[in-house]
A and B are shown apart, each in its own frame.
Chain A
């Protein structure tokens, strides 16, 4: 393979120049310092990497003198005397060209790959070289910045979203199929229900036709019944009024009876009172006042005589009592003195013996007693006479009451007349009421009979009336069944729509028949699974590729280069792609800054080549600017041999520069 590099106004060189390179070999561009070696490499790098989008890579490209800074008006590769520069690189049917203008604009015909800057430019201040120079071991950034893992992941997300869409659609299909089955079951059930309901309605409507005929006769009967009921109501009201009248009359009669009885008692009492008054009057009339006065006078005269008798008796009694007192006093004196004799109080110097005194006392007492009795007897007679006088005077006083009694008799008689009159009137009233009661009772019986007749008539009609509750039930049931029918029909219609809806599925605004869609979705799910596997594999490869490749290469190179001091150099996949260096005789990893300058160049170059093989294999170019400067002759030869081998194996263009004392020269080595 041949590559042709055409440069116009690049660097210090004005005008056009052409460089040709062969693949499969290492081409060395040699010359003195500032002879224009680097601009050839830089032009290649620019054509193969532009446009450089990543800010970090652009910064690296600026530091390499490939890209212009933000402040610079034009590319550092443009000849300072020219307005425009051109870089054209052709190889294997690929033609990349970049036009650089002084106004800062750049034109690119075919885009390159910006990762070329990191992977394929072996320069002293490459990022990998810088890391190693600084003793930094973390190379995870290679994966982040150079791998295509991100791109593959983005595509995986996009494919995943389609895969998810297909899965969702498949789930939707499953749901629709399930629903369709369910809806069809429900539809079948509803259709059966509808059939049953229609049959029910047919039977009910037939019944209604029959019942309609009955309704007409029922209407007439109901009219009659209504009239009877109304009549019955009137009659019952009248009966109720009559009953009230009857009860009122009965009460009046009872009250009258009671009053008549009371009157009779009053009359009887009054008669008794009148009789008593008459008797009293009779008694008073029988009294003879003159005779009574005579009797009183006689009694007064008799008492006057009695008083005279008592007056005559009193001196005798007094003398006898004085004697008796004298004898008793003497006897007391004798008792006191215990003497038997006492001087005579009548005959001076004469003594009287005790026994004589006692005898005289006895005689005196005997004489006194009949006198006392006589006096008392007269006294009793007087008292009796006084009583008789008082009694006669009382009788006389009673007689004075005669006019009053006569008046009372008059009153009593009048009262009796009134009472008898009242009683007669009440009895008459009672008799009238009794008659009225009989009349009302008769009336009551008549009305009751009429009512009973009406009730009987009503019952008879009611028996004739057909019970329309059943008819109403039939109508209600028909109505209910019709509503039910409507609901079922509605449900059927909805189910049919739902089933129809379940038959298709929409994707990309197209309606697919569900079975066909299922088949297609299954195919696409398989397709996406396959693509996903490819993407996952590439993501893994991209993530781990550089480290694997590096580890493989470095092991091989260590063997080939016969680097005596290294046992193993590798990127530790388990430790965030850290660079681990194991020297012979020491199993522990060594610090990176323990590497010599030559070792650093070799290791960083090998790491870059590994990254290129993984991340930038489609561009068959490796350019190296003075990388062998720090290597000793042995290592340089070994490294050159390694590069030759790579160039040959991969059919790559490997272009290196080297400072010599010569004029600018190109040579395949």
Chain B
């Protein structure tokens, strides 16, 4: 659960910083996918 919370916080932070810096959708999609895959891999360990 704490791992999920950490992931949520990280993603929210990432979303906020992406928006504040001016959202580039193409970059966001790519990075977001990488993040999700990374989290998923971590969960699989």
> Chain A: residues with CB nearer than 8 A to chain B?
111, 113, 148, 151-152, 154-155, 158-159, 162, 507-508, 510, 512, 516, 520, 523-524, 526-527, 530-531, 534-535, 618
Known pairs A155-B15, A527-B8, A527-B39; list 11 more (Cβ under 8 Å): A113-B20, A113-B22, A152-B19, A158-B32, A162-B32, A508-B40, A512-B44, A520-B43, A520-B44, A524-B39, A527-B11
* A residues in contact with B39, CB < 8 Å: 524, 527
Across the interface, A523 reaches (CB within 8 A) one of B4, B15, B18, namely B4
CB contacts between A and B, total, < 8 Å: 56
A-contact 0/1 string along B3-45, CB 8 Å cutoff: 0100110011001001111110100110011001101100110
Across the interface, B44 reaches (CB within 8 A) one of A152, A516, A526, namely A516
Across the interface, B11 reaches (CB within 8 A) one of A507, A508, A531, namely A531
* B residues in contact with A510, CB < 8 Å: 40
Q: Which residue of B lies closest to A166 (CB)?
A: B36
B19–A155 touching, CB < 8 Å: yes
- In the complex, how many angstroms separate the beta carbon of B24 from the nearest chain A beta carbon? 10
A162–B36 touching, CB < 8 Å: yes
* A residues in contact with B29, CB < 8 Å: 158
A524–B36 touching, CB < 8 Å: yes
Across the interface, A524 reaches (CB within 8 A) one of B15, B22, B40, B44, namely B40
A534–B40 touching, CB < 8 Å: no
Across the interface, B28 reaches (CB within 8 A) one of A158, A524, A527, namely A158
CA distance A535 to B16 in the complex (A): 10
CA distance A594 to B24 in the complex (A): 43
B40–A520 touching, CB < 8 Å: yes
Across the interface, A527 reaches (CB within 8 A) one of B4, B18, B23, B25, namely B4
CA distance A507 to B43 in the complex (A): 14
* B residues in contact with A526, CB < 8 Å: 4
CA distance A527 to B36 in the complex (A): 10
Among A151, A155, A508, A526, max chain B CB count under 10 A is at: A155
Supposing A158-B29, A508-B40, A524-B36 touch, asked if A531 and B22 sit within 8 A by C-beta, the answer is no
* A residues in contact with B40, CB < 8 Å: 507-508, 510, 520, 524
A148–B43 touching, CB < 8 Å: no
B20–A618 touching, CB < 8 Å: yes
* B residues in contact with A508, CB < 8 Å: 33, 36-37, 40
B22–A111 touching, CB < 8 Å: yes
Q: Which residue of B lies closest to A114 (CB)?
A: B22
Q: Which residue of B lies closest to A152 (CB)?
A: B19
Closest 8 CB pairs of A and B: A151-B23, A151-B19, A530-B8, A520-B43, A508-B37, A148-B19, A534-B12, A527-B8
* A residues in contact with B23, CB < 8 Å: 151, 154-155
Q: Which residue of B lies closest to A535 (CB)?
A: B15
* A residues in contact with B44, CB < 8 Å: 512, 516, 520
CA distance A227 to B15 in the complex (A): 100
CA distance A200 to B28 in the complex (A): 65
Among B18, B36, B44, max chain A CB count under 10 A is at: B36
* B residues in contact with A148, CB < 8 Å: 19
* B residues in contact with A534, CB < 8 Å: 12, 15
CA distance A138 to B22 in the complex (A): 26
A531–B18 touching, CB < 8 Å: no
Q: Which residue of B lies closest to A531 (CB)?
A: B11
* B residues in contact with A158, CB < 8 Å: 25, 28-29, 32
CA distance A524 to B36 in the complex (A): 9
* A residues in contact with B11, CB < 8 Å: 527, 531
CA distance A162 to B7 in the complex (A): 15
Supposing A155-B19, A155-B23 touch, asked if A531 and B36 sit within 8 A by C-beta, the answer is no
* B residues in contact with A531, CB < 8 Å: 8, 11-12, 15
Among B12, B15, B28, B32, max chain A CB count under 10 A is at: B15
- In the complex, how many angstroms separate the beta carbon of A621 from the nearest chain B beta carbon? 15
* A residues in contact with B22, CB < 8 Å: 111, 113
* B residues in contact with A618, CB < 8 Å: 20
A527–B15 touching, CB < 8 Å: no
- In the complex, how many angstroms separate the beta carbon of B9 from the nearest chain A beta carbon? 10
* A residues in contact with B7, CB < 8 Å: 527
Supposing A508-B40, A527-B11, A534-B12 touch, asked if A155 and B4 sit within 8 A by C-beta, the answer is no
Identify 9 residue pairs between A and B in the complex whose beta-carbon atoms are under 8 Å apart, listed by A's number.
A151-B23, A155-B15, A155-B19, A508-B36, A510-B40, A512-B44, A527-B11, A530-B8, A535-B15
CA distance A159 to B18 in the complex (A): 14
- In the complex, how many angstroms separate the beta carbon of A110 from the nearest chain B beta carbon? 9
Q: Which residue of B lies closest to A148 (CB)?
A: B19
- In the complex, how many angstroms separate the beta carbon of B25 from the nearest chain A beta carbon? 6
- In the complex, how many angstroms separate the beta carbon of A48 from the nearest chain B beta carbon? 13
Supposing A520-B43, A527-B4, A527-B7 touch, asked if A111 and B15 sit within 8 A by C-beta, the answer is no
* A residues in contact with B21, CB < 8 Å: 111
CA distance A510 to B39 in the complex (A): 14
Q: Which residue of B lies closest to A157 (CB)?
A: B25
* B residues in contact with A524, CB < 8 Å: 36, 39-40
CA distance A534 to B14 in the complex (A): 12
